[in-house]
């Protein structure tokens, strides 16, 4: 099986190890990855900021680049939600390619029907599922299904699991103090537990939580879920 690999901007620019882990994981399962270097941003920051014409141009480009793939996989739910849920309104038409875009955990559990990847990570972790993925895709089910099979890992359910991290793309730029307060509230709730990790399937949320945790001395190690599932060789 061959898929088109859609790499979100934050993975490309800030967390390249997540992209490498995604490829390593997919190849282990017999899935070949085709990365088209013409790909760019999905347009979500411009869309959320009200710059719809800029977002529309990004969406048109996405459709041109990925239309040749039968299946597109991305290690990031926010961008997948943008493509699947908002391109129709943005472009004013249905584009079949948008239905072929899958978040990686969703693809593993629902397309490949895989739930045990043989991963090992001893310790206790909190899980942060991004708002767009939690409310716009299939929720946290695919992620939790995969993490349940990780040897030695206990995912602790917390009241803050459904709280926004405060990032929200341009929201964090326009309202930095409110954004930081939201993230700190979540991290402080987590800090009451004896946690070893904070895990998330989205790099943008990890960047927000990691930056706040470093500045305020809060929280355990932050990891992308794909890094855990693929193994932590890097």
* Predicted confidence (pLDDT) at residue 225 exceeds the cutoff of 70: yes
In percent, the amount of the chain with pLDDT more than 70 equals 99
User: Any idea how long the chain is?
Assistant: 234
- pLDDT at 140 (0 to 100): 87
CA distance 172 to 123: 31
User: pLDDT tens across 128-144, in order?
Assistant: 999 988 888 877 899 99
- The listed range with the strongest mean pLDDT (59-68, 133-142, 166-175, 185-194) is 59-68
Closest C-alpha among 8, 56, 5 to residue 169: 8
- Region 12-25: mean pLDDT is 95
What's the DSSP call for residue 106?
H
Fold (topology level) of 120-230: Rossmann fold (3.40.50)
CA angle centred on 75, ends 74 and 80, rounded to 5°: 50
Using 50, 70 and 90 to split pLDDT, how confident is the model at 114?
A: very high
- Region 29-55: mean pLDDT is 94
- Region 99-109: mean pLDDT is 96
Domain locations in the chain as residue ranges: 2-111, 120-230
- Report how far apart, in Å, the C-alpha atoms of 71 and of each of 7, 43, 97, 130, 180 are: 14, 20, 8, 23, 36
- pLDDT at 233 (0 to 100): 54
- Region 139-166: mean pLDDT is 93
- Region 110-115: mean pLDDT is 95
Instruction: Yes or no: say if 224 and 209 are a contact pair by the CB < 8 Å rule.
Output: no
């Amino acid at each position: 099986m061959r898929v088109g690999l859609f790499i979100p901007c934050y993975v490309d620019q800030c967390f390249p190890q997540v992209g490498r882990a995604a490829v390593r994981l997919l190849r282990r399962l017999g899935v070949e990855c085709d990365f088209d270097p013409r790909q760019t941003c999905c347009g979500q920051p411009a869309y959320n900021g009200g710059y719809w014409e800029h977002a529309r141009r990004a969406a048109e480009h996405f459709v041109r680049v990925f239309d040749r793939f039968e299946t597109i996989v991305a290690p990031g739910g926010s961008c997948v939600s943008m493509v699947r849920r908002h391109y129709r309104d943005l472009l004013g038409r249905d584009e079949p390619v948008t239905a072929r875009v899958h978040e990686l955990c969703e693809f593993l559990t629902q397309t490949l029907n895989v739930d045990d990847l043989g991963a090992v990570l001893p310790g206790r972790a909190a899980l942060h599922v991004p708002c767009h993925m939690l409310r716009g895709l299939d929720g946290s089910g695919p992620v939790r299904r995969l993490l349940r099979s990780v040897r030695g890992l206990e995912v602790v359910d917390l009241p803050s699991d459904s709280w926004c991290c405060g990032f929200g793309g341009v929201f964090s730029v326009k309202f930095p103090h409110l954004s930081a307060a939201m993230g700190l509230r979540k991290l402080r709730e987590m800090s009451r537990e004896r946690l070893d990790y904070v895990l998330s399937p989205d790099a943008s949320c990890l960047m927000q939580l990691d930056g706040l945790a470093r500045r305020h001395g809060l929280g355990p190690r932050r990891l992308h879920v794909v890094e855990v599932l693929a193994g932590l060789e890097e």
